[in-house]
Amino acid sequence: MILKQTKINKKLFRLIIGNDEVKHPKPFPDEIYKAEKKLNKKVKFMVGDSLQDIKTAKAAKVKSIILLTAPKSIWKDLKEADFIIKDIKEIPNIIKEVN
């Protein structure tokens, strides 16, 4: 539903896991662990837009990329993210930079 609202093509993703597919939702890292198991790969990044997403990434020991979609009044709460972006198109550059 979120991808549809943001007009992001879900074909860009190999796997999408929602909180309804895990026993413990965010900030527990269950979604990340499930992705690692299904893909048989270590997840390196979590993309999100909230403090919950940062906490989840930290719990799973992956890098957090936070997209600033939240009101400016809470941006200061998101400063603990590894990367903060204003446009989702910045993600490929971050991945290249880290890899």
What was the pLDDT predicted at 36?
96
What was the pLDDT predicted at 93?
92
What was the pLDDT predicted at 3?
76
User: Scanning the structure block, which residue is given the tokens 């992956």?
Assistant: 62
- What are 15-47's pLDDT values in tens digits? 889 889 999 999 999 999 999 999 999 999 999
Rounded distance, CA 5 to CA 38, Å? 26
Pair type for strands 83-85 and 45-48: unpaired
- What are 48-87's pLDDT values in tens digits? 989 999 999 999 999 999 998 867 777 777 889 999 998 8
Rounded distance, CA 8 to CA 26, Å? 22
For 2-98, the fitting CATH number among 2.60.15.10, 3.90.180.10, 3.40.50.1110, 3.40.50.1000 is 3.40.50.1000
Extents of the domains making up the chain: 2-98
What was the pLDDT predicted at 28?
96
Q: Which stretches of the chain are assigned E, i.e. beta strand?
A: 45-48, 63-67, 83-85
pTM of the model: 0.83
Whether pLDDT at 94 is above 90:
yes
